[in-house]
Amino acid sequence: MYAGRRVFLYKRAQILAADVWAAYGRQTGGESPFAFRDMGRLTMFADYRVPQLLLPLGVLRYSEGLEARVRAGEELPAGGEEEVEIRCASVQAVERLRAVMGGGLLSVELDWLLWQRGEEQKDALPPHHRTRSVCY
């Protein structure tokens, strides 16, 4: 719940669709029975690594209080406003980055690139937010 509204972030479902799409060659058009014609409707996978990467780049900002809690390794409640804000802000940031970049890169593909960069740099990045959830 966020501000009295249910917010759905289908991270695992999106990962499944993206993995199947990738396994069948990332086809998005044509007559192939393996083409996924709606991959552009998926967002990035709202998780923890991408915001961890976007923070030091200045793409995302946390309030001073939230930043202190994350740096201290404090667990944020699953489904709490701060966790939902981080995840939704990450989705919005990736959408805006993709729009600025142009070139036809899908959000899913940009997520993969950012995730990989985050994995490569994880030891040099600030701590990521921590939330116990079935969504991670």
Catalytic residue among 19, 38, 47, 123: 47
Per-residue pLDDT tens for 50-106? 999 999 999 999 999 999 999 999 999 988 999 999 999 999 999 999 999 988 899
Q: Are 70 and 129 in contact (CB under 8 A)?
A: yes
Q: Is 111 a catalytic residue?
A: no
Type of residue at 41: R
- Residue 101 phi/psi, 5-degree rounding, is -70, -35
Q: Where are the alpha helices (DSSP H) in 11-106?
A: 11-23, 49-54, 64-71, 81-101
Reported pTM: 0.91
DSSP 21: H
Domain spans in the chain, listed from the N-terminal domain onward? 11-121
Per-residue pLDDT tens for 81-90? 999 999 999 9
pLDDT band at 29, cuts 50/70/90? confident
Q: Are 97 and 113 in contact (CB under 8 A)?
A: no
What the block records as the tokens of 51 is 């915001």
Look at the block and give the residue holding tokens 């029975």.
33
